[in-house]
């Protein structure tokens, strides 16, 4: 049957090409039209495969070349050609080879006075022009000149033809050669005049499609340098800016505004950042390396032209998914296990980091009475250490406690019991009420009220700059020999006085200990100051904050403001008020209404601040040390503000293509006055938030040799709660290296060493001379008996790392939650300690964190791309972390789970990246044979468990693909080289959740810490679900839940997907959530070619079309004054000399092309 259909179609096509009988041709065209008018595109593609395009094109050429072309045949033929050509990716090339391009152009020239025939020719040209190379040929053959004869100034006649001609012209100008031709012939001026004319007369927006097509012509011309120069010389920026300002809120003008924005952004003159060099303001000499050259000053040579000579690309070429190209499909690389990257004898050094395997525990002879005495002593001597089991002391009330920590006056509740309840209901109340007002208005008096209602005397005096930032909050850098020296007496006294006046019980934080630790922290710039938030500590808000609702049109407003700054610079101050590159103070502290900035403290990052207007500042971030790039993290102090005044901050040198700042995320702010008043400290803040591409060029050095790339602007407005406050703004909740070291010391002092084995080791020294901590947590053996010691030493390992990327501070908050939970008295934590040994490296890149880097080490390299062949001298933390894992593997103690905590800037929720051979091959389209590829599918169990347990976690965003570009990451290397099937990266969004109980909420530190605890709970559930789980552990877990073992087992089976292997094999990952990261503002579609289908179908019902009184198709008749009816404004004012190729019958067509010089 199929053969008969094929042969029948081929007979029709063959007859169409060979016959000259008019009736036969019309009949065949009618049959083909009927066949293709119903069903799907599959019929059209089938016809194309049988030579349908060639047959139709050949018939067009033969019919057109007769002495008197028969338009009764040509018109239905054109309609059929367009329908087929839209689906044939090689249609343009076929038309070129069969000379159909020249034929169609000739027909168009001959029919300038016949609207119906001309319209069909224009439709065909539109399809031909969809291929850029074909469009270039049309341009060479005079298509541009022809179209400018058809496109007239404003008229209410022939609007369908004018629209079609403008759309053809826009398609032709995608070819750079055509764009250059248009510039050389002065068409930029003509297009701007046409735009102005149609804009000024089309007052009711009837002909938006024509105006949009004219603007698209300008947009395509602006892709070349000469086009932008011509546009600017014709005052195009001013024209488009002025013609749109009164229509920004008009929805019917949306297609116009969208294209105008794109043109303005393209033509905005590119400039260099107002910096001396793209490299970091801080330089660090790597020990043993050759002295590096001084940073090179940026010049125009860094920025090449954006491609005037670029080869035209075919618009119909098939796109290949970059992600699929990056997938690793080499089975040798996926499945083979490479050998050690170091001599085996080197692994012996890591025995000292695993003393738990050889320790004798003789002191376990102590009595229970001594244990009780110890607990009393601990609580007496360490008043700043909260009982880990008290929700009150964790800043959580009864309803908000999400860890189930034991309460002071009630029976202990385990986190495991929450599994029965399903997802946590923490913070749900916050979603039922309006967004909380973070900062209530406070009278600006010299008295304040603390959280207990007591007066706080003279807050203004306490907050003076010279008190807080010069004397009190200082940490003088000392040599190693003076590391134990005390701070200046005056500083300690002032801080003690403030702490006594404003006592604050922040769990696991001690300002005095923080100061002591800070003196030992080594930084490249040798910081002299501490930031107040890090010293004082963080008290989170009582509930999670909602995501910011994005204001419609905020991006376009910001772009227009940038354009206004360019063309109307009279009110621009442009004064540098802070710079790391300039020695000495730049600010006159007495200058009124000028903010004061500072960032020279641990984790601080602000390189330069420029006052643009009275309440607007451009900010530039510092690149990572020894790097010209990675500007994203910021953390700086600002003071001298006025309350109730919105200040606009523009961070103008961001690098990522897009950000969650476009999708509800807010930066964070810390107010010193609010902290002293006992209120929430780090909170989300800001409105009018927008992240978009700007006009500042990135140097080739900063882009790996690529030219033409630009930076991005993050802009947001902040209204400060108090006048003359001291506030800190940050990309995310800061967590410094000193905070970690302080936290670890307090944790160690908070536990009972008779029950909890908590050991701090130094993994290694960093390049900057800071110790990288390694923490071991497990339960002490019940006694020093052989059986108990054996059970202790045979516990499996779990390895967790974090903060390899310094700017991902959310990873540290998740780690903080995990650490505090693991040492707590929660029954789940006890079970975990009794069954596992946790090896934790909470900060893999201390130097980067200390110096305010976003991604790199002091060598300017991403440490999470160094795991394949790390160097002990250049990447010591990675080298020794890998060495420790090698050692555990060599003694048969590879971890059950390896997880590296990260932060994610472009997705929401918390999710895993894992490794799977089969899923990678499946995604890449490679055949997967279960007989040749054997894989442990248990890698999916833990994320499925967390999907059921953790409110923030979603399985839907997890991916288990192995990419070539990730071959040197921790996740892939540990999976491949150590054979750890459950090797993960856990990503936590900087923003928040779009699913589950936290949907619509931004993450606070409490939610991040909760995720750390939930991760630990997931490890326990994973063990309970494993085949090797002991009967004793199942019994104890069941006891915690007060249920029978069978009920527990049933619950665990139902809380996640079936553990059946066959089911797991078929359980492919769902598609990841798609987030629109379009960098353009409200990008308008240029009009799909398939819009022609609609026009053709409409035309098929109108065999005879006279001159239109108004626009046809979708255009409606505008209600205008009678004097505009029937009168075309085709005056000689708009005309100029044209080519002599047009026939004499075209004289009544208005010629819009002009040879005049640019305005």
987 noted as active-site residue:
yes
- Distance between CA atoms of residues 729 and 639, nearest Å: 11
Distance CA 730, CA 1084 (A): 34
Nearest to 509 by CA among 533, 479, 481, 485: 533
Sheet with 608-613, edge to edge strand ranges: 575-579, 608-613, 616-620, 646-654, 710-719, 687-697
Strand 726-730, strand 710-719: pairing:
unpaired
- Cα–Cα distance, 157 to 1112 (Å, whole number): 10
Q: In angstroms, rounded to a whole number, what is the distance separating the alpha carbons of residues 213 and 170?
A: 6
CA–chain centroid gap for 899, Å, is 22
Q: Identify the burial level of 383 via C-beta atoms within 10 angstroms of its C-beta, where 0-12 means exposed, 13-18 middle and 19 or more buried.
A: exposed
Residue 942: helix, strand or coil by DSSP? helix
CA 945 to mean position of chain CA atoms? 27
**DSSP structure string for 862-890:** -GGG-SSS--TTTSHHHHHHHHHHHHHHH
Q: Is 980 helix (H, G, I), strand (E, B) or coil?
A: coil
Of 987, 1007, 1023, 1115, which one is the catalytic site residue? 987
For residue 148, give Cα distances in angstroms to 117, 187, 222, 248. 18, 9, 18, 30
Among left, alpha and beta (phi > 0; psi -120 to 50; other), residue 677 is alpha
> Among the residues of 809-938, which ranges form H helices?
809-822, 827-835, 846-850, 876-890, 917-924
Q: Which helix (H) or strand (E) holds 758?
A: strand 756-765
3-state class (DSSP) for residue 603: coil
Q: Classify strands 455-457 and 447-449 as parallel, antiparallel or unpaired.
A: antiparallel
Contact indicator for 1151, 148 with CB cutoff of 8 Å? yes
Residue 645 CB neighbour total at 10 angstroms: 14
What CA–CA distance (Å, rounded) separates 572 from 271? Answer: 17
Nearest Cα neighbor of 90 from 146, 37, 49 is 49
d(CA 496, CA 478): 22
**Which conformational region is residue 1081 in: left (phi greater than 0), alpha (psi within -120 to 50 degrees), or beta?**
beta
- Do residues 1109 and 1117 make contact, with C-beta atoms less than 8 angstroms apart? yes
Distance of alpha carbon 20 from alpha carbon 151, whole angstroms = 36
Which distant-in-sequence residues (6+ apart) come within 8 Å of 938 by Cβ? 981, 982
1126 class by beta-carbon count within 10 Å (0-12 exposed, 13-18 middle, 19+ buried):
exposed
The DSSP letter of residue 58 is: H
Listing DSSP states for 614-626 in one string gives TTEEEEEPPPPTT
Smallest Cα–Cα separation from 673: which of 438, 492, 460, 455?
A: 460
For the CA atoms of 383, 386, 390, 396, the dihedral, rounded to the nearest 10 degrees, stands at 110
Partners of residue 165 on adjacent β-strands: none
Phi, psi of 954 (to 5 degrees): -140, 130
Catalytic residues: 987
């Amino acid at each position: 049957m199929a053969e008969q259909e094929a042969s029948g179609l081929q007979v029709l096509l063959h007859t169409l090409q060979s016959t000259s009988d008019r009736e036969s041709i019309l009949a065949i065209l009618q049959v083909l039209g009927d066949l293709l008018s119903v069903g799907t595109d599959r019929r059209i593609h089938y016809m194309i495969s049988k030579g349908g395009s060639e047959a139709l094109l050949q018939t067009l050429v033969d019919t057109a070349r007769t002495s008197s072309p028969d338009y009764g045949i040509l018109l239905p033929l054109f309609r059929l050609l367009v329908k087929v050509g839209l689906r044939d990716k090689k249609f343009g090339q076929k038309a070129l080879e069969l000379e159909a391009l020249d034929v169609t152009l000739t027909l168009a020239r001959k029919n300038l006075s016949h609207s119906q025939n001309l319209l069909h020719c224009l439709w065909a040209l539109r399809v031909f022009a969809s291929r850029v190379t074909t469009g270039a040929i049309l341009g060479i053959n005079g298509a541009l000149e022809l179209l400018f004869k058809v496109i007239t100034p404003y008229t209410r006649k022939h609007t369908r033809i004018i629209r079609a001609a403008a759309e053809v012209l826009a398609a032709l100008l995608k070819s750079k050669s055509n764009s250059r031709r248009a510039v050389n012939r002065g068409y930029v001026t003509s297009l701007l005049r046409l735009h102005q004319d149609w804009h000024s007369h089309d007052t009711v927006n009837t002909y938006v499609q024509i105006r949009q097509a004219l603007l698209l012509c300008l947009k395509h011309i602006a892709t070349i340098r000469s086009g932008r120069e011509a546009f600017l010389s014709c005052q195009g920026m001013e024209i488009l800016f002025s013609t749109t300002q009164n229509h920004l809120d008009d929805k019917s003008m949306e297609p116009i505004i969208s294209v105008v924005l794109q043109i303005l952004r393209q033509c905005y003159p590119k400039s260099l950042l107002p910096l001396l060099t793209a490299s970091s303001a801080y330089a660090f000499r790597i020990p043993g390396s050759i002295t590096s050259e001084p940073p090179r000053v940026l010049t125009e040579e860094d920025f090449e032209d954006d491609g005037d000579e670029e080869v035209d690309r075919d618009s119909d070429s098939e796109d290949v998914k970059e992600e699929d190209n990056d997938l690793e499909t080499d089975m040798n690389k996926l499945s083979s296990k490479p050998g050690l990257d170091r001599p085996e004898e080197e692994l012996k050094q890591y025995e000292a980091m695993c003393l738990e395997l050889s320790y004798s525990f003789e002191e376990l002879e102590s009595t229970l009475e001594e244990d009780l005495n110890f607990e009393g002593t601990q609580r007496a001597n360490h008043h700043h250490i909260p009982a880990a089991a008290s929700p009150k002391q964790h800043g959580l009330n009864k309803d908000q406690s999400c860890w189930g920590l034991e309460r002071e006056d009630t029976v202990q509740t385990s986190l495991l019991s929450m599994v029965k309840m399903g997802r946590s209901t923490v913070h749900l109340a916050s979603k039922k009420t309006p967004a909380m007002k973070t900062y209530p208005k406070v009278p600006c008096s010299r008295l304040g009220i603390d959280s207990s209602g007591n007066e706080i005397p003279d807050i203004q005096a306490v907050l003076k700059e010279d008190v807080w930032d010069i004397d009190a909050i200082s940490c003088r850098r000392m040599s190693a020999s003076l590391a134990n020296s005390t701070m200046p007496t005056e500083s300690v006294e002032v801080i003690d006085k403030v702490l006594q006046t404003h006592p604050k019980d922040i769990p696991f934080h001690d300002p005095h200990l923080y100061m002591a630790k800070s003196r030992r922290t080594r930084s490249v710039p040798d910081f002299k100051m501490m930031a107040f938030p890090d010293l004082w500590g963080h008290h989170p808000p009582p509930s999670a904050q909602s995501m910011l609702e994005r204001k419609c049109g905020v991006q376009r407003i910001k772009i227009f403001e940038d354009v206004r700054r360019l063309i109307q610079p009279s009110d621009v101050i442009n004064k540098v008020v802070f710079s790391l590159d300039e020695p000495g103070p730049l600010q006159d502290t007495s200058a009124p209404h000028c903010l004061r900035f500072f960032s020279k403290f641990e984790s601080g990052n602000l390189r330069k601040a420029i006052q643009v207007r009275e309440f607007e500042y451009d900010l530039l971030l510092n690149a990572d040390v020894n790097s010209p790039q990675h500007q994203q993290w910021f953390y700086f102090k600002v003071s001298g503000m006025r309350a109730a005044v919105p200040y606009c901050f523009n961070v103008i040198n961001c690098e990522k293509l897009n950000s969650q700042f476009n999708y509800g995320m807010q930066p964070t702010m810390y107010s010193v006055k609010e902290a002293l008043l006992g209120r929430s400290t780090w909170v989300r803040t800001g409105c009018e938030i927008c992240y978009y591409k700007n006009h500042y060029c990135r140097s080739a050095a900063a882009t790996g040799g690529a030219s033409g790339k630009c930076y991005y602007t993050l802009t947001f407005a902040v209204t400060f709660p108090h006048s003359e406050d001291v506030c800190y703004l940050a990309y995310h909740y800061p967590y410094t290296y000193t905070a970690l070291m302080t936290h670890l010391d307090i944790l160690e002092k908070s536990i009972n060493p008779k029950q909890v084995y908590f050991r701090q080791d130094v993994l290694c020294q960093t390049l900057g001379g800071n110790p990288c901590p390694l923490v071991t947590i497990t339960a002490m053996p019940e006694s020093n008996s052989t059986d108990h010691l054996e059970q202790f030493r045979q516990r499996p390992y779990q390895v967790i790392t974090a903060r390899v990327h310094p700017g991902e501070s959310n990873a540290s908050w998740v780690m903080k939650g995990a650490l505090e939970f693991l040492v707590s008295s929660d029954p789940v934590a006890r079970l975990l300690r009794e069954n596992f040994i946790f090896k934790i490296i909470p900060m893999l890149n201390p130097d980067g964190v200390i110096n305010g880097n976003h991604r790199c080490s002091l060598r300017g390299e991403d440490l999470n791309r160094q795991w394949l062949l790390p160097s002990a001298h250049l990447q010591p933390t990675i080298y020794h972390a890998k060495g420790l894992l090698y050692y555990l593997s060599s003694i048969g103690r590879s971890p059950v789970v390896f997880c590296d905590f990260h932060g994610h800037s472009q997705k929401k929720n918390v999710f895993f990246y894992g490794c799977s051979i089969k899923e990678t091959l499946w995604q890449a389209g490679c055949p997967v044979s279960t007989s040749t590829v054997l894989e442990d599918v248990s890698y999916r169990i833990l994320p499925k468990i967390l999907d059921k347990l953790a409110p923030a976690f979603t399985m839907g965003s997890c991916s288990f693909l192995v990419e070539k570009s990730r071959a040197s990451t921790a996740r892939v290397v540990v999976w491949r080289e150590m054979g750890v099937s459950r090797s993960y990266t856990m990503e936590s969004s900087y923003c928040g959740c779009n699913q589950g109980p936290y949907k619509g909420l931004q993450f606070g530190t409490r939610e991040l810490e909760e995720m750390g605890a939930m991760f630990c709970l997931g490890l326990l559930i994973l063990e309970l679900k494993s085949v090797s789980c002991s009967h004793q552990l199942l019994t104890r877990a069941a006891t915690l839940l007060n249920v029978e073992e069978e009920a527990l087992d049933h619950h665990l089976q139902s809380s996640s997907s079936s553990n059946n292997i066959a089911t797991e094999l078929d359980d492919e990952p769902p598609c990841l959530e798609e987030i629109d990261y379009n960098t353009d503002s409200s990008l308008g579609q240029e009009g799909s070619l398939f819009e022609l289908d609609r026009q053709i179908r409409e035309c098929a019902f109108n065999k005879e079309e006279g001159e239109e009184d108004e626009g046809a198709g979708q255009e409606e008749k505008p209600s205008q004054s009678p004097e505009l009816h029937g009168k075309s404004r085709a005056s000689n004012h708009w005309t100029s000399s044209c080519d002599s190729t047009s026939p004499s019958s075209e004289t009544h067509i208005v010629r819009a092309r002009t040879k005049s010089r640019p305005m």
